[in-house]
Each structure stands twice: as C-alpha cells, then as structure tokens.
Structure 1
Amino acid sequence: MFSKACEYGIRASIFIAKNSHEGRRVSPKEISKQIDSPQAFTAKILQALVRHHIIKSVQGAYGGFEIDKDLIATIKLSQIVEAIDGNSVYSSCGLGLKECNKNHPCPMHDKFESIRNDLRDMLENTNLEELATGLKNGKAFLKI
C-alpha cells in the first residue's frame, strides 16, 4: 500500500518522536539502524520530512533530528504519507492499473474504495504521540 520510502519515513518519524520526548536528538545512522533501513536511503527520506516541516534537523556536534515536543501530538500520519508518497494512496488502483476510476473501474474498484476511505480516516486520525507512546511503553516495536 505504501512505498518502501513511506514505510521508512513513518518508522523514522515514530522513532524520532519517541526520542524527542526523552529530550534526545538522533543521528541518521542511529535512525537507520533502529528502523532497519539503508542509511543513504534513510537520509533522503529524512530530508523530505525536514522540507515538509515534520521533523527538524539540527547541525553541529550535538545535532541530529528531533521534533518539538509540543508538536508531536499534532503531526498526523497523513502528513508523513503525503510528504513522501503524495496523495496517490487515496486514489490509486488496487490492482495497479494506470486508468481506474468510477467511469472505467477495475474488477476490485468498488471494494477497494472503502479500504482507501478507511485508510484515509486512520491516517488522518492517528498522530505520532500515540505511536511513540506505544513504542516507549514497549507495546509496539519498529524492528524485529
């Protein structure tokens, strides 16, 4: 459903949010290791998240990535998905066809439409605070 870049972007944002709650900035190397993603690819994803004002990059000896504590609860998963994958997840065909719409539907179009609507609802109503708290409490994980 999401691109690999988007999956890594969500994981990275959750990891950064958890550490920001603890007053820690995290390096790209640490993020890459903790979310099990290639370091160079992770760096590009982090740049996109910075450009979209989801995370903040701080330069220098004590630099790294962080999210302002008071903003963590306001950042929705939909913002992360849009920053990396755009809005195609809400409109793309469930079978991957290039042209699929109400006028020219694929065999799964009607059934997949409700899935996309549920996905949009979940992404727009889930924030980083919820996900980082699950990670912090040990009820969720980012890496096997």
Structure 2
Amino acid sequence: MAIFSKTCEYAMRAVFYVAQRSHEGYKVGIKEIAGHINSPEPFLAKILQQLSRDGVILSTKGPNGGFYFDAASLNRPLADVVTAIDGDDIFTGCGLGLTYCSESNPCPLHEEFKKVRNQITHMLHTTTIGKFNLGLIKGKFTLNK
C-alpha cells in the first residue's frame, strides 16, 4: 500500500538518488536516474521538469549538466517534493476522499485518520531531502523495486 501517487513515488525516489549523487559531488542525467530507480525516462523527465520549475531540484544544461542539489536545497523538507507533485491534499484531505468531510461534518474515519495524517505531515515537514544520503551511499537503503 502506498500513501503517495505513483508520480510522487517516482519523484521521491529520484530526489533521493539525485541528493545522494549531489552529496558525492555529481550532477546526474535522466537516463542515469531512471536506470537507478527503475522509472520510465519520459515519465521521469516530466516529473523532474516539474520539480525544477518549482525550485525543488536544480538543473544545468550542457555536457557537464544534469540535476543536482546544493547544500541549501538538501535541507529542504520532503513536504516540498510532495506539494510540487501531488499538491497539499495529503496534509488536509479526508481518509475516505470525501470533499465535504470536516471537523463539523466528519466522516467515520475522521478522528483516527487525522492522527495518522498529522504524523505523516510532521514527518514530511521535518525530514530533509538529504537526510538519507549516507545510508544510500553505504547501501543501507534501496530506491529500486
């Protein structure tokens, strides 16, 4: 079960891979990223363009170009990635997907889902893009299905 859209899953995996490579001093192209996260290149290209337009990831063109993060952008919260791709529904939405669910008109899952949603919101706002770099470099984590 996933809590993010497929697009957001690819975005997060790509961001983690680019962050790891940036930490090692490299800029990476779409082909390399797609190969390491098992993503279709054209789909990934659109995702990375969106992240770049929103200022979440940096990019340069040319023979030494590619996607990368600088030190400041490695400290951005994962919430920025999610918001750029999926919007902010994960932070405010109903667990049943109801548009009319609210404090004054709750769905059956409202109170319990709100607790889970608040934990996810906290994690995404307090976890940085670069947090997992050393674990990825040491092979502790995987980004490939």
Distance 1:116 1:139 in 2: 27
Aligned-residue sequence identity (percent) comes to 43
In structure 1, the partner of 2:47 is 45
In the alignment, residue 10 of structure 1 is paired with which amino acid?
Answer: M
Distance 2:138 2:88 in 1: 32
Computed over aligned residues only, the root mean square deviation of the Cα atoms, in angstroms, reads 1.3
In structure 1, the partner of 2:118 is 117
Shift in alpha-carbon separation, 1:46–1:73, aligned structure 2, 3 A = closer
Distance 2:26 2:143 in 1: 18
Shift in alpha-carbon separation, 1:61–1:73, aligned structure 2, 3 A = closer
Runs of 4+ in 1 over 3 A off after TM superposition: none
Classify the secondary structure of the residue corresponding to 2:144: coil
Give me the TM-score of the superposition, normalised by structure 1: 0.93
How far did residue 100 of structure 1 move?
Answer: 1.4
Aligned length: 143
Would the aligned equivalents of 1:17 and 1:72 in 2 still touch at CA under 8 Å? no
Would the aligned equivalents of 1:90 and 1:116 in 2 still touch at CA under 8 Å? yes
In the alignment, residue 89 of structure 1 is paired with which amino acid?
Answer: I
Structure 2: where are the runs of 5+ without partners? Answer: none
In the alignment, residue 5 of structure 1 is paired with which amino acid?
Answer: T
Deviation string 1:17-54 (CA, Å, 9 cap, x unpaired) is 10011111111111112111121111111011111212
How far did residue 11 of structure 1 move?
Answer: 0.7
How far did residue 92 of structure 1 move?
Answer: 1.4
Classify the secondary structure of the residue corresponding to 1:65: strand
How far did residue 72 of structure 1 move?
Answer: 4.4
How far did residue 97 of structure 1 move?
Answer: 2.2
Distance 1:22 1:132 in 2: 9
How far did residue 4 of structure 1 move?
Answer: 1.1
